[in-house]
Chains A and B, each alone.
Chain A
Amino acid sequence: MKVVGARIPRYDGVAHVTGRTTYVDDVSVPGTLWAKALRSPHHHAGITQLDTTKAESMPGVHAVITWKDVPLLEYGHLSALGIPADEPLLAKDDVRYLGQPIALVAAESEALASAAVDAIEVAFEERPALLDVRQAFDAESPKIHHWGNWYPHFEGEMDRRQIRKGDIDWAFENADTIVQGVYRPAAIEHAPVETQVCQVVPEPDGRLTIYSCTQALYFSLGVVAAHLQQPLNRFKLVGGTTGGGFGGKVDTATETMTCLLVMKANRPVKWRWTREEEFLCSSTRAPWHMELATAVSKDGWILGQKMLTLHDSGAYARFSPYGLTKHSFHHTGAYSIPNLHFDGYVVFTNRTPTTAMRGFGVTSVSFAVETHMNRIANELGIDQVEIRMKNANRIGDTSPNGVAYTDPSTIDTLKAIADAIGHELPADYRTMTNEPRAGELLPEHLVSQVGSTEGH
């Protein structure tokens, strides 16, 4: 093997340090028009008037598009997986988040495009907005989404991601104490130094070349083609050079609308978001609301856990049903908990739609589980590292969805952490491995949850 363990140079290192790497904004096509968007100034409102006549008649303006120009207005980011669509490419009757695009203009210059956006006549009827995921989950809260305030289309038309494992009643009846906690990590903007940008060029053969900063090129291809109701071979996507993404460039944010402008103007068009747009309108990591109640024995065994998760999807579903699914499979963290009762909801708010960011759906639950583990250790007066090692996943232990772990690294990781921070462990912990449970580490309540690692 030439590469594993070797310190190979970056294939693009020299290009990066000499300014030769071509990012989307560096693509220079003569005759390119600039795009600007009319965005919702409200978190939640009905659109009562939309008139683009004045903007269209301005000299130097080559195209204005609204929802009327989109062949298939609603197409979900997960529609290809059978998840129904809920988000219009351009707002039609109502806006559900601040910054939602309503119309786009393509003009000779950036300044002229902005002036044309200002010339679009639009009026709104403001509605109450829900900006907190827990508030949106209240039965009394106003409905802000046509599906209701949470996603109702999980398999079997369930309105939640639900996990039931073992015997939760036994765990709570036999616990010495119940430790509770509520954990609410906030939204995080990815803030890549390169803002969302794409450049679309009409080719003589009728195809469109799309220079995109996306992290998901073929995915974007499918989304663009579906909205425009065109065959995939109408589009050539050029990508792979992204000025930072971190999950925030998985959503197809710019390509489809820019293609529509190009088809209308028959000129190349570039749409580059401002830093302000990036912060206000691009998708973020979700805020989450997680409630945990854990049944524990006084000697530090976790007998069972109940969890309620509210995943703030923002105004539309996008990838959140997928993110919550990952979250649910990982909701015990690195620990073996035999009896589980988990309900997770993808909840709609009037926030910017949320998306992936470095461990989609999992970082939130890691924060909750690890903070909660310290709380349990402190309440029981047990060492924070030892309680983790005692309950750590081992070969044969099963995940919340019943998959047996074949080589979990929790114990080695914890030993390395203890070592790095100079934390003394008792002798029997220093020699602990991830070998299947036995003896004192296989108490009666864990016997039933050990599965077979064969076939994995």
Chain B
Amino acid sequence: MNLTVNGVSHEVGSSELTPLLDVLRLEVGVTGPKAGCHQGGCGACTVLIDGEPRRSCLLPAGYAEGTAITTVEGIGSPEDLAPIQQAFVHYYAAQCGFCTSGMMLAAQAYLDRGGSGDPEAIQHALGGHVCRCTGYSKIIDAVAAAARGDSFDLTTTAVGKHTTMSNGGAA
């Protein structure tokens, strides 16, 4: 089986039914996608398949053959951060960081679809992602800022806006 991960082609020996998450982490050596639940519930393993967010823990690796697989490592580097990565740093949207890569890839797909800074639309786009640290408001602030096309000063952090959520913040 041949998988294209972040633009690089990898020959892998796992069976086509092995979850893509395990192939990426154990065979390809890409550890950005996390095993939070291994049952499609938390979103931490999210990768982009041809630009669409997918749960790699539920996806048989064979399904991803011939597609462009993008992990968090593929959207930017420490020296050249993507706007969504800058936004997450500036808005303190990552606390422990474990959900962050999946959260950012869902956000990247949302931005690529031309998503707006509307908090409700962002909530909907990130709805399947669990974060236990932040309370979500900083994450929504970050995605909204990236959607607006803001530029980010990474020598400081934003003053939290504490985005009011449609359900009163009890996400």
Contact = CB atoms under 8 A, between A and B. Distances in A.
B89 A17 contact: yes
A17 B104 contact: yes
Most buried by A among B37, B81, B101, B155: B37
B104 to A, nearest CB: 6
A401 to B, nearest CB: 33
Given A18-B81, A243-B96, A194 B89 contact: no
B56 interface: no
Given A7-B156, A20-B78, A13 B89 contact: yes
B132 A18 contact: no
A134 to B, nearest CB: 29
A15 B78 contact: yes
Interface in A192-207: 192-195
A9 B157 CA distance: 5
A90 B19 CA distance: 32
Interface in B16-44: 25, 29-32, 34-39, 41-42, 44
Given A18-B81, A193-B130, A193-B131, A12 B35 contact: no
A244 interface: yes
Contacts of A190: 132
Contacts of B98: 23, 192-194, 243-244
Contact of B89 (A10, A244, A272): A10
A284 interface: no
B100 A244 contact: no
B39 A193 contact: no
A18 B73 contact: yes
Contacts of B156: 6-9
B29 to A, nearest CB: 7
Given A17-B72, A18-B73, A243-B98, A195 B36 contact: yes
Interface in A258-309: 272, 274-275
A244 B96 CA distance: 6
A86 interface: no
Given A10-B89, A18-B85, A272-B35, A194 B78 contact: no
B149 interface: no
B71 interface: yes
A66 B31 CA distance: 33
A22 B92 CA distance: 19
B170 interface: no
A48 interface: no
B167 interface: no
Most buried by B among A10, A245, A275: A10
Interface in B75-103: 76-78, 81, 85, 88-90, 92, 94, 96-101
A448 interface: no
A23 B133 contact: no
A21 interface: yes
Contacts of B42: 193, 275
B96 A192 contact: yes
B8 interface: no
Contact of A18 (B36, B39, B77, B99): B77
A7 B132 contact: no
Nearest to B33: A19
Contacts of B90: 9
Nearest to B130: A193
Contacts of A245: 96
Interface string B116-145: 000000000000001111000000000000
Contacts of B132: 190-193, 244, 246
B12 interface: no
Given A17-B72, A23-B98, A275 B41 contact: yes
Contact of A275 (B31, B39, B158, B159): B39
Given A192-B96, A243-B97, A19 B88 contact: no
Given A14-B89, A18-B78, A19-B71, A7 B96 contact: no
Nearest to B93: A17
Nearest to B87: A17
For the complex of A and B, the 4 pairs showing the least CB-CB separation, nearest first, are A19-B32, A243-B98, A16-B97, A275-B37
5 contacts: A17-B81, A18-B72, A26-B31, A193-B44, A243-B96
Interface of A: 6-10, 12-23, 25-26, 28, 190-195, 242-246, 272, 274-275
